[in-house]
Amino acid sequence: MMSVYPMPASVRDRLDAIRRNFLWQGNCDPNKHKFHLVKWNEVLVSKKEGGLGTRNLKIQNHSLLMKWLWRFASQEQSLWKDTIKARYGMETRWISNIATQPYGTGVWRTIRNLWPKLINKCTIKIGDGGKTLFWEEVWAGQASLKASFPELFSLSLQKVANVKEMRDAQGWNLKFRRPLNDWEVNRMVEFLNILERYKELSNREDKLLWAPDTQGRFSVGTAYRNSQRTHTQSSYWPWEMIWKVKVPFKVACFTWLLAKQVVLTQDNRMKKGLDLCSRCFFCECETETINHLFLHCKETVKLWQIFINKRGISWSMPGSIKEALACWNRDGNQSGHRER
C-alpha cells in the first residue's frame, strides 16, 4: 500500500507509537512504564550517523511514491501513463500538470507534488534536445542555466524554448531583447563556454539520470538514503564500528546506548525524576555515571586490568566510553581483528 498511496499522518503516528513501545518495552506489560532512552528521531537515523537505522515511514513512503514519477518520466509507452497524460495534460515533456481538481485526484496529486524533490536530484543526458527546456532544466552543469545565469535569462526572448529549438545549422541561436552591456559580456563568455561542450545533438531522445546513483538509475533505496541525509546532522564519530564487531546484537545495542550516554545509571535515573542516592554501589565513593561505572570505578578497573593483562598490552584508561570505543576500534583496525 505504501508504494501506491500516501500514508495518512495519523496512521504513521500510530505505527511509530507501536514501534517505539516495542523497542523500549518489548513484550512486557504495556501498563508498566519503561523509559524511552533515545529520541525517536535519533533512532530513525542510519547506523553510520548514530541511529539504529529504523525506517522513517514518511521518507520510505515518499521514496516509494517517487518511483512512479521516475517511471512516468522514463517510460515511453504505458497505459497508465497515457491515462494520466489524457487526464491532466503535460507541464513539460517529463511530467504532467499539477492536479488541481477537487475530486478524484488525491493519489496522483500527492505523487505529483513530489516531482520537485525528484527532479532536483536528476540531471539530463542530452540527445536531440527535444524533451529538455533550455533554461529551466538541469542539463549543462550542476544547476539550470536560469539559476546559473539569471541576468541572461531575464534578457532572453526564448524563455520556454527547448534545447533543440535553440540550435540551428550554424550552432546556438540565442536571441536577446537588447544588446549586452559591457559588464554582461564576461558572463556571456562563461555561458558560451558551457554551451561549447554541446556542439552537436544526436538523434536519440533525451534521457533522465538519477544523480545519487553512479549509473543514473533511480532506486527506492538511494532515494531513501538521499532524503534521510537532509534530515540529520552527520557525525564524525565512527558509529558504524559498533555494528561491525562480531558480538550478539543485544550486546551491540547496549554498546550503542553506552556511547549515547543514556544507560540507566543512577545519575541518569535521577535526571528522569527518580529520587535516588547518586553514589556508586560498587565503590561507594563517587557519583555513579556511565563513565565512572564502566571505566573508572576501582572495582571496574580490576576487571579491566585482568582483560588488558590477558591481551598483553599497555593501555591508559580514556576519559569516556566513546573515547574507549574509538581506541579499541583503532587498535582492532591496525591489528586486523574484528572479534573483540
User: What band does 280 get if pLDDT is binned at 50, 70 and 90?
Assistant: confident
Residue 254 has pLDDT above 70, yes or no: yes
Residue 153 to residues 57, 126, 187, 219: CA-CA distances in angstroms?
40, 20, 12, 34
- E strands, the chain, where? 122-125, 167-168, 171-172, 207-210
What integer pLDDT is reported at residue 12 of this predicted model? 94
More confident residue, 103 or 246: 246
Residue 339 has pLDDT above 60, yes or no: no
168 DSSP β-pair partners:
171
- Residue 60's closest CA among 6, 117, 14, 118? 6
Residue 223 has pLDDT above 90, yes or no: yes
Q: Are 162 and 131 in contact (CB under 8 A)?
A: yes
Percentage of the residues of the chain whose pLDDT score is greater than 90: 43
DSSP 45: S
Percentage of the residues of the chain whose pLDDT score is greater than 70: 92
Angle at 41 between CA 68 and CA 34, to 5 degrees: 130
Identity of the amino acid at 9: A
User: What band does 104 get if pLDDT is binned at 50, 70 and 90?
Assistant: low
Residue 200 to residues 35, 131, 135, 174, 204: CA-CA distances in angstroms?
65, 16, 18, 16, 12
Residue 338 has pLDDT above 50, yes or no: no
What integer pLDDT is reported at residue 336 of this predicted model? 47
User: What band does 1 get if pLDDT is binned at 50, 70 and 90?
Assistant: confident
Nine-digit cell at 239? Answer: 558509529
- Residue 286's closest CA among 272, 275, 300? 300
The model's pTM is: 0.80
What is the three-class DSSP state of 293?
helix
pLDDT digits (tens, 9 = 90+) for 112-154: 999 999 998 998 999 988 889 999 998 988 889 999 999 999 9
What integer pLDDT is reported at residue 332 of this predicted model? 54
d(Cα 20, Cα 15) in Å, to the nearest integer?
9
CB proximity list for 322: less than 8 A, separation 6 or greater: 237, 259
46 DSSP β-pair partners:
none
- Phi, psi angles (nearest 5°) of residue 103: -125, 150
pLDDT digits (tens, 9 = 90+) for 23-56: 988 777 667 778 889 999 999 998 888 899 999 9
- Residue 69's closest CA among 205, 220, 221? 220
What integer pLDDT is reported at residue 169 of this predicted model? 79
Q: Are 126 and 201 in contact (CB under 8 A)?
A: yes
User: What band does 105 get if pLDDT is binned at 50, 70 and 90?
Assistant: low
The stretch 290-297 carries a mean pLDDT of: 92
* Averaged confidence pLDDT in the chain: 87
